[in-house]
Structures are given as C-alpha cells and as structure tokens.
C-alpha cells in the first residue's frame, strides 16, 4: 500500500513539475526546442551535401543557408506585395474611411455614442495600450534576438550531431545500441517529416487560394493567398488568423463582395486541406491521434505561446517515438498514436478472468 501511494505521489509531482519547468524555462527551452526541430529537418540536406564530398563545415553552412534563404524568400514576397499595396494606398484609405464612418453610425445607433465620443474612448484605450509601448519594443527586440539564437543553435547542433548521438548511446548498454539508433532515426524522420509535410501543405494551400482569389477577381490575390497559407503553420488557430487578415484586406481593397469570395475560396480550400492534404501529406509523418494533436497544441500554446503552438506537434511526435522504444512507456505511445486497438472485449475479459483465477 505504501509503495502504491509513493508511486502515485511521484506521478503527481511529475505532472506538476514538468509543466512548471517548461513554463518557467521557456526563455531558454522554446528557442532551443525550435533549434532542435529545425536541425533535425536540415540533417538530410547536410547528409546530401556531405555525399557530394563537401567538408562537414561547408555542409553545415550550406544547410543553414537553405534555412536563411527560405526565410528571406518569404520576407521578399511579402515586401514586393506590400509595395504593390502602397501604390493603391490612397484608394484603400478612402474605402477604409467610408467603412469607418458606417461603423461609427452603426455604433451610434446601437449605443447612443456620437462619433466624437467614440474617438475619445478609442484614444483613451490607445493611451492605455501605449503605456506598454516600451514592453512592445522589448518584445520585438526579444523576437529578433531569439531568431538569431535559434540559428546559432541550429549551427551548433548540426556541427555536434555525432557527439550528441554518442552521448545518448553511452547511456545504454551495447546490446541496445541498434534499437536506440533506430529510435533516433525515426525521431529525426518524424521531426523533419512534419515540417516538410507542412511546407508542402502550405504550398498547396497558397496555390488553391491564389487560383480561387484570381478567378474571383480579388485584388492582391497572391498576397492574400500567401498570408493565409503562411499562417496555416500555426495549427487550428493559424487558419482563422490568416483568413481574418485576408478578409480584412479584401474588404478595404474590394468591398463586401471580395470578402464573400475570400470566405468561399478559403472554406473550399480548407476542406481539401483537412480531408486530403493534412491526413495524407502531414498526418502520416507524425502518427498522432486527433486528441493528442489538439491537446499538444493547446498545452504548448499555453506554455510557450505561438512558438509552442507551431512546434507542439513535432515535439509530441518525438515524445511518442521515444515512448515507443522504451520498455515501460509503450502503453503511453499507444495512447498517443493512431494504431488501432487489437484487443476485443472478449480478449480483455479472458485476461481478467485468468488473472483473477491465478
């Protein structure tokens, strides 16, 4: 009885200590976890470069350069499209002013506040938000510092990957090394596969959005498609954020009819994404059931914010693979995965009867 109580209390302490450690250590752990996942994603590129007789240092540099070029590419596309918007800014400003006046009239009708009172209240709210301006600037600076730190982690992890692998193997007896190597290979595949799958899904979504917006005659079709697709990297919430931004930009540049086209196109594209792209392109790479997928996104989102939501699924996939190869946690791996139960009720009843008779 005493042993059972001790075991129960140990699990309770773990369930409290692990989330607390993740939350209070997020300043270090979140960038490091992102760096680990990105490094695993870049390992195949590094191996390919080394197979072309490049030195390890050049292969690390080349792999990191691929990551930087991808980020620069996305930033460049958004910059080009922003310049296109700036050319039509006077028209957009005029339309925005029109909708603002209509909104003020609606608010006055419902609440009795005249436009001047509405503006005064808005100024009061903005002044309160303004008091956190220095914090916002600090947040921007912190984000830039974290991006640089993540790139540094990626370079160091790729450079020292063999040392980390050897460190892990040294903690297991030699007879288990084959099993551990297999687990590490599957972990790498799960982590990198998720992001490659999400990248493919993002490209497919961008193409679907772009075609739909263009056919619907939406202004800045490519920009809207890119914005909506890029935000899909954030599971579940990202589609709502990206869709909201796209709808807002469509409203001020084209009117209510443009918003309707955006919503129809995004709904159709999301159905294709949810029933075809995600299950067959992304889902098979991670092998998590829907419950664990949603729970992990919510949990890591609470602990680490947007960064946690983005990497929640690959991290949970890595944990599932780790549990699969550890003898005492295979039941947890089964609980997290998509594997179908093999026992029927009769088999369970038979096992219980045999245990009771013994």
Average pLDDT over residues 91-115: 70
Check pLDDT > 50 for residue 65.
Answer: yes
Check pLDDT > 70 for residue 314.
Answer: yes
Q: What's the pLDDT score for residue 59?
A: 92
Average pLDDT over residues 268-286: 73
Check pLDDT > 50 for residue 251.
Answer: yes
Closest CA to 42 of 30, 52, 34, 54: 34
Q: How far apart (Å, rounded) are the C-alpha atoms in residues 312 and 294? A: 9
Q: What's the pLDDT score for residue 28?
A: 86
Q: What's the pLDDT score for residue 354?
A: 58
The more confidently predicted of residues 68 and 96 is 68
Q: What's the pLDDT score for residue 237?
A: 64
- 236 φψ region: left (φ > 0), alpha (ψ -120 to 50), beta (else): left
The first and second tokens of residue 230, run together, are: 């890029």
Question: Are the CB atoms for 184 and 165 separated by under 8 Å?
Answer: yes
pLDDT band at 81 (very low <50, low <70, confident <90, very high): low
Check pLDDT > 60 for residue 126.
Answer: no
User: Please, which residues have CB within 8 angstroms of residue 278's CB and are 6 or more apart in sequence?
Assistant: 201
Q: What's the pLDDT score for residue 134?
A: 44
Assigned domain for 335 exists: no
Assigned domain for 332 exists: no
Work out the end-to-end distance of the chain between its first and last CA atoms, rounded to an integer number of angstroms: 21
Question: Are the CB atoms for 61 and 154 separated by under 8 Å?
Answer: no
In tens, the pLDDT along 290-310 reads 788 788 888 888 888 878 887
pLDDT band at 356 (very low <50, low <70, confident <90, very high): low
The more confidently predicted of residues 18 and 130 is 18
CA 313 vs CA 76, 155, 282, 287: distances in Å: 28, 23, 10, 10
Q: What's the pLDDT score for residue 209?
A: 86
Check pLDDT > 70 for residue 33.
Answer: yes
CA 80 vs CA 31, 83, 113, 253: distances in Å: 29, 5, 41, 17
Q: What's the pLDDT score for residue 136?
A: 39
Average pLDDT over residues 314-343: 81
Assigned domain for 59 exists: yes
Positive/negative CA dihedral, 59, 64, 66, 69: negative
Average pLDDT over residues 40-62: 89
Indicate the length of the chain as a whole number.
358
pLDDT band at 353 (very low <50, low <70, confident <90, very high): low
**Number of separate domains in the chain:** 1
Check pLDDT > 60 for residue 132.
Answer: no
Closest CA to 258 of 216, 228, 223: 216
Assigned domain for 301 exists: no
Assigned domain for 73 exists: yes
pLDDT band at 281 (very low <50, low <70, confident <90, very high): low
Positive/negative CA dihedral, 227, 231, 233, 238: negative
Q: What's the pLDDT score for residue 324?
A: 86
Assigned domain for 33 exists: yes
Assigned domain for 297 exists: no
The first and second tokens of residue 123, run together, are: 């100024």
Mean pLDDT of the chain: 77
pTM of the predicted protein model: 0.71
Assigned domain for 61 exists: yes
Percent of the chain with pLDDT over 90: 6
Q: What's the pLDDT score for residue 61?
A: 92
Range of the domain at 143: 27-159
Check pLDDT > 50 for residue 127.
Answer: yes
In tens, the pLDDT along 178-232 reads 888 888 888 888 877 777 778 888 888 888 888 888 887 777 778 778 877 877 7
pLDDT band at 154 (very low <50, low <70, confident <90, very high): very high
Q: How far apart (Å, rounded) are the C-alpha atoms in residues 224 and 234? A: 17
pLDDT band at 60 (very low <50, low <70, confident <90, very high): very high
Question: Are the CB atoms for 193 and 281 separated by under 8 Å?
Answer: no
Q: What's the pLDDT score for residue 85?
A: 65
């Amino acid at each position: 009885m005493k042993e059972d109580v001790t075991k129960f209390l140990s699990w309770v302490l773990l369930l409290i200590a692990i989330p607390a450690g993740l939350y209070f250590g997020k300043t270090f752990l979140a960038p490091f976890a992102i760096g680990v996942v990105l490094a695993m994603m870049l390992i195949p590129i590094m191996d390919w470069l080394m197979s072309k007789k490049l030195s390890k240092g050049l292969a690390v540099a080349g792999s990191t350069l691929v990551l930087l070029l991808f980020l620069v590419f996305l930033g460049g596309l958004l910059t080009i499209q922003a310049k296109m918007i700036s050319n039509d800014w006077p028209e957009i400003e005029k339309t925005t002013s029109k909708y603002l006046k209509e909104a003020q009239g609606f608010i006055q009708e419902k609440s009795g506040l005249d436009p001047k009172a509405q503006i005064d209240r808005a100024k009061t709210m903005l002044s309160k938000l303004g008091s956190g301006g220095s914090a916002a600037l600090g947040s921007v600076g912190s984000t830039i510092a974290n991006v640089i730190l993540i790139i540094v982690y990626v370079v160091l992890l790729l450079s020292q990957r063999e040392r980390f692998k050897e460190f892990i193997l040294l903690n297991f007896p030699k007879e288990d090394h084959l099993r551990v190597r297999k687990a590490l290979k599957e972990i790498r595949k799960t982590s990198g596969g998720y992001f490659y799958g999400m990248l493919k899904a993002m490209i497919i979504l961008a193409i679907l959005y772009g075609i739909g917006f263009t056919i619907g005659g939406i202004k800045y079709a490519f920009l809207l498609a890119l914005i909506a697709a890029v935000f899909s990297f954030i599971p579940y919430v990202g589609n709502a954020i990206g869709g909201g931004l796209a709808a807002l930009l469509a409203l001020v540049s084209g009117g209510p009819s443009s918003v309707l086209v955006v919503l129809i196109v995004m709904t159709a594209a999301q159905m294709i994404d949810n029933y075809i792209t995600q299950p067959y392109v992304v889902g098979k790479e991670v092998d998590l059931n829907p419950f664990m997928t949603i729970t992990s996104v919510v949990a890591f989102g609470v602990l680490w914010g947007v960064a946690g939501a983005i990497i929640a699924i690959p991290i949970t996939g890595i944990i599932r693979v780790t549990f699969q190869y550890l003898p005492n946690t295979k039941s947890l791996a089964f609980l997290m995965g998509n594997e179908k139960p093999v026992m029927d009720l009769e088999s369970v009843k038979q096992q219980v009867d045999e245990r009771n008779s013994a």
